[in-house]
Structure 1
Amino acid sequence: MRIATPPPPTSAPLRVALYSHDSVGLGHQRRNLAIAHALRTHLPALTGREVTGLLLTGVERVVGHLPADFDVVRLPGIAKDAHGYAPREMSVPMTDLIDVRRAILSGALGALAPDLVVVDRHAFGVDDELLEPLRRLRREQPGTRVVLGLREVLDEPEVAVREWRRVGCERVRELFDAIWVYGDERVTDLRATGAVPAELHDLVVHTGYLSADRATSSFLRELQRPYLLTTVGGGHDGADLCRAAVQAPVPEGLGHVVVVGPQATPSRREELQALAGPRTEVLDEVPEGLLAIRSAEAVACMGGYNTVCEVMSTDRPAVVVPREEPRREQLIRARSLEATGAVDVIRAAELTPERLGRWFADNLHRSVDRSHLRRDGLAAVAGHAADLLAATPQEICHAV
């Protein structure tokens, strides 16, 4: 029988764990990394305690810089294939890989004994790898607060409903104290759309977009200025946008920087380099994507959550070319933001180099006011975390 460890003195740092399953792209880790910076920045003033923690991630490296007093636990990588999920690097059965990931998660959470756990998007990870580690944490550290963080758009509502059935609302209520939705409910409300079941509505808090006050370093590689920017996030997709971008006409006096992403294949980079004009530069990545967006004259991008939030933290004009398969999440996000005047949209089927070039030419020297949107989600997340941590056990009741 394990004897419960007495709680640390109130002067001890708050311990935070942020988990993301990380099968495709970099968005899950990037979102948790932004939250880690926000908690490290804002929680000490709200709680009187410093913050330390772990990023639990399946990405081979951190994209960006860790906040002070944070470290990384890297899970063996997974990827999607025609049958679902598969090991990204290792030649072992998927069940064995999940056993390894589950053991790492259980060990890390058990040893860290976090005050707060934030789980990105998938409540119990891949193949329920996080389910037993969370149950063990509930038994051994009942004071830990556990939060499920969701993008403001999951997918079409009927797809989300099927996913919730697989996850199980009862299990979510058993193990989670809150559901943070990282968006403005006036633009997209997951309760109103049916993308979150009614049984869980009382747990839902819309935080606002994780947009304003994103942490950056002070370094940006010197780029040809002034410049246009096209960026496609991690680079596991976005080939059509990059192909149109490198061939798009560039207005006189400007350069065009096309960032294909660190996960783009070498063959794609070679193809794009061969197609690029003399004033178009093709890069794998830039050290600070947000700074690159802030310094650009205009931006073309896909509709991933993090890139769109970075764009919305600026007044740079932006056109979004959303991915539409296999999920329509990016299209729904792009259309909803277009309706508010925050971005323009070009559908993938309508994208050509000429049309993209015309959009760039028409939007030079323009700024976009996005102040009508709730973009302070990072500061709001810290406030919600402080409230959860201050709540008594009686104020947070778990279903059994």
Structure 2
Amino acid sequence: MAVNGYVLHSGSSTEGSQTIVRGVGGSTSHSTMSLSTPPAPVPRIPGNYIENGREYHAFRKGKYLFPCDETEMDRMDIYHKLFSVARREALHSAPLTPNFDGPRILDLGTGTGIWAIDMCESQYRNAEVRGVDLTQIQPEQIPPNLTFLQRDIEGLWHGMGEDSWDLIHMRMLNGCIESWRDIYAKIFRHLKPNFGWLEHVEIDMIPRCDDGTLPPNSQLVNWTRAIFEATELAYRPMAYNTETRAMLESLGYVDISEEVIQVPLNPWPTNPHLKDIGRWYNLGLTQGLEALSLAPLMRVKNWKRSDVDKIVQEVKMEVCSKRIHAYCNIQAKAGGDQPSSKTVLGAHHSCAWPATSFDDEQGQFIPFKANDFIQAKLSEPAPEGKADWNPSNKPPIMDPCLAAGTDDQRMSPEWLRSKRKVVMPLAQHI
């Protein structure tokens, strides 16, 4: 796959209102089922609803196709780590113009808020940082210069302040937006003229493979096609828009550029950095396969749950095979009339949905545990005829666990979830 991101410079533009809403608490219930039957899942947040065993948010119900439960939040935070590793710890690449009051930074589709929190804690303690999302899943304890809003970014932007933002950041919003042109136009109006920057990172989920080891009729290819069709029918396409650059230029953006970073399917490369990227990418994709499949395929395409489960398992089996050498391309291009500007991360993700496990020297499937994920090694490809995965006796571990090595305890599930304590809303939605 490839991750496609843009960092852009605005030309000129004018506006102003805001609604501040924080996360909400959970709820409890009592089950009358027998002891042999697991209790039905209960939404963490009042007003949310359960569908196919996953929790979905109630605000603008049905607009966002993906869950907002703990498993999905883990996936979001895993991807944050993936991008951090891939970009060598850089949280952004757009140049921020120094000012005495500190930069104003807006994170659209902030999710768990982890990028916004890191921006406040690691680099910009004097900045005003604001995160916006449909869901209220951000933590209670946040830096004093950070605010979260519950807002639909496709709606009106009252109170956001035109011509006032130094950096507007978006990441992984494919499948969420009906009209990217409208979003880019709103962003352009709200960036500081001649100084404001847009940075956009996306994943292009088309599977790519250079050596023919990914068959064109594979279930991975079939799954990707089905997801693209479903999200297109829902008017929220998951497919990356190849006309993005032309769209941005037509809206007045300048200094458009992209950066290319390889994102392997798993740690098959010998290069240590690419191997590390592959581990995190593998873990994040595995976390999200079910979440990305359920609503698009069942709500939109009217698939049965058994059919969704079947293709999900078959895709996992394919991507667990070391015979498939798939990777991602993060593509970067430079443009505009200010060559000294260092604008950056594009993303053209060629897709290969990997799993959290690899084969040992005998070609056997080994599910990773949380604490040995970082130290895990990738062996030579399994000999022909050897099974890569035997699901009957070696089921994959799907417990949401992050690669928490001794030098990376900050990204453990316990740390992540400790940051997610939420409170009742302080203001009404918009």
TM-score scaled to structure 1, two decimals?
Answer: 0.31
Q: Which has the higher contact order (CA 8 A, sep 6+)?
A: 2
Larger relative helix fraction: 1
TM-score scaled to structure 2, two decimals?
Answer: 0.30
